[in-house]
Amino acid sequence: MKERIQTSSKVAGEQAHPASPRFHKLRILMKVLIPLIVLGAGIVGASYIKKNAPEPRKRPPRQTIPLVETTAISKSGEQVLIEAMGTVIPAMEIVLKPGVSGEVIEVHPEFTEGGFLRAGEEILRIDPKDYELTVTQKQSQVANTSYALKVEMGQQDIAQREWELLNGDSPAEKLDKELALRKPHLKKVKADMSAARADLNQAKLNLKRTLVVAPFNAVVRTRSVEIGSQVSTGEQLAELVGTDEYLAQVAIPLDRLKWISVPRKAGESGSQVRIRYRNGEYERVGTVIRLLSDLETEGRMARVLVAIPDPLNLESENTDQPPLLLGEYVNAEIEGQELEDVFRIPRTAFRDNDKVWLASADGKLSIRQIMPLWRGREAILVSNGLSDGERLVISNLSTPVDGMAIRVKE
């Protein structure tokens, strides 16, 4: 009996011990069951809430009609304006050279770089003494030949009388008669007289050339001589630039030449041009005078010359504007042809390079394709495809669709 009781106690002790296999299996079972129970309870709760929660009231979708700004369009006459850039160049420029050699003995006070000279003013004088002596010598030669001609004329009369006395009307050889009448002598004396006079005129011309004058109103660009310089014929004295007008050489795209009026011959008038310089702060008025015969090397563009009168403010009383300088960059706005019965469309209202948006009378957006007659930087000109009084949409829309509803801003 005692042994049985001890055996039962041993078995019970093994079942309750935490390290026994049965206790280990129980722990595993609990770890699995508890999450499943929690998950099941959550599903049941969520299902209950879903079934018993109040349903939201359904509202119809709210339609948003965009608000746009419009402007009325109508036909009008418009001036085509061609915008371009150019460079100021001289209209007249020469290299001043002397016609005679000698020493420079006098110069004009304004004969310096940047100095202004009037047409006909004496620029410099070359020592004239040698040329004055030459004129005196040539005058003496003319006097001698004049004397010889008068003597020969007397000999001609004597020869004529002798021929009439000795031969009368008798026939004679032509050469004999000419020699007897001293006709070769007369030709030689006359030739000597003409040569002497030509030498005298040349000497006077050389004397006159010792005085170098300005051929036109000019500014001295460079100077190469001073008082005391020895100059020779053909040597460069200075570079002169005309001041009555400068030219702006302006580059124009080839497709825009048809809009510009270019004179074909002298006396015709070309398109008017507004010349802006110094960042557009100052403005002058010029005229297109010529189309150059070749294209620009870099951009392959045509080039026109624009005449700008009195660029240095020498003739004008208005000196508020600074003078134009050679080599200065300018902006040119050329007035092209006048177009009649066209619509002016702001550049910002020209969509996708060929469309405009219009607001119809029933509050719909109309997307219309057009073909511009002229494309400018700020506006385009259209002759067809639009009607007077139509409303042009000038606002932007994120997703424009033809026929969509719009509201026009009053």
CA distance readout (Å), 293 to 8, 279, 290, 303: 130, 30, 9, 8
- 305, 337, 369: which is the final residue of a domain? 337
Which band of pLDDT confidence, cut at 50, 70 and 90, is reported for residue 318? low
Q: Are residues 87 and 104 part of one domain?
A: no
Query: What is the pLDDT, as a whole number, of residue 62?
Result: 66
Strand partners, 342: 76
**Are residue 178 and residue 304 in the same domain, yes or no?**
no
Pairing state between β 116-117 and 302-309: unpaired
Which structure tokens are listed for 400?
A: 């424009």
Radius of gyration of the chain (CA): 53
Q: Which pair of tokens denotes residue 402?
A: 């033809």
Residues 332 and 306: beta-carbon distance below 8 Å: yes
Cβ atoms of 340 and 247 closer than 8 Å: no
More confident residue, 89 or 179: 89
In a shared domain, residues 215 and 153: yes
Query: Whole-model pTM?
Result: 0.70
For 21-45, b/e burial (b = at least 16 CB within 10 A) is eeeeeeeeeeeeeeeeeeeeeeeee
Structural contact between residues 125 and 229, judged by C-beta atoms closer than 8 angstroms: no
- 222 and 133 within one domain: yes
Q: Are residues 103 and 203 in the same domain?
A: yes
Does 62 map to a domain? no
In a domain, 262, yes or no: yes
Per-residue pLDDT of 104-129, as tens digits, reads 999 999 999 999 999 999 999 999 99
Q: Is the pLDDT of residue 14 over 60?
A: no
> Do residues 225 and 266 share a domain?
no
Residue 137 lies in a domain: yes
* CATH code of the domain containing 368: 2.40.420.20
Whether 362 is in a domain gets the answer: yes
CATH value at residue 263:
2.40.30.170
Is 187 a residue whose pLDDT tops 50?
A: yes
Establish if 63 belongs to a structural domain.
Answer: no
On whether residue 191 sits in a domain, the answer given is: yes
Contacts of 246 (CB under 8 A, 6+ apart): 88, 89, 90, 91, 307, 308, 311, 324, 326
Same domain (yes/no): 223, 269: no
**Same structural domain, 244 and 234:** no
108 shares its domain with 201: yes
Residues 111 and 182 in one domain: yes
- The pLDDT of 288-303, averaged and rounded, is 90
> Which range marks the domain in which residue 219 is found?
98-238
Q: Which residues, 6 or more positions from 72, have their beta carbon under 8 angstroms from its beta carbon? A: 389, 390, 391, 392
How many domains does the chain fold into? 4
Q: How many residues does the structure list for the chain? A: 410
Phi, psi of 316 (to 5 degrees): -90, 145
Which pLDDT does position 184 carry in this prediction?
81
Residue 141: partners with Cβ closer than 8 Å, 6 or more residues away: 196, 199, 200
Q: Both 298 and 360 in a single domain? A: no
Same domain as 165, residue 149: yes
- Residue 148 forms part of a structural domain: yes
Residue that finishes a domain, picked among 282, 308, 337: 337
- Residues 371-385: what's their mean pLDDT? 90
Last residue of a domain, one of 223, 238, 253: 238
In a domain, 320, yes or no: yes
CB neighbourhood size of 390 (10 A): 19
Q: To which H or E segment does residue 106 belong? A: strand 102-107
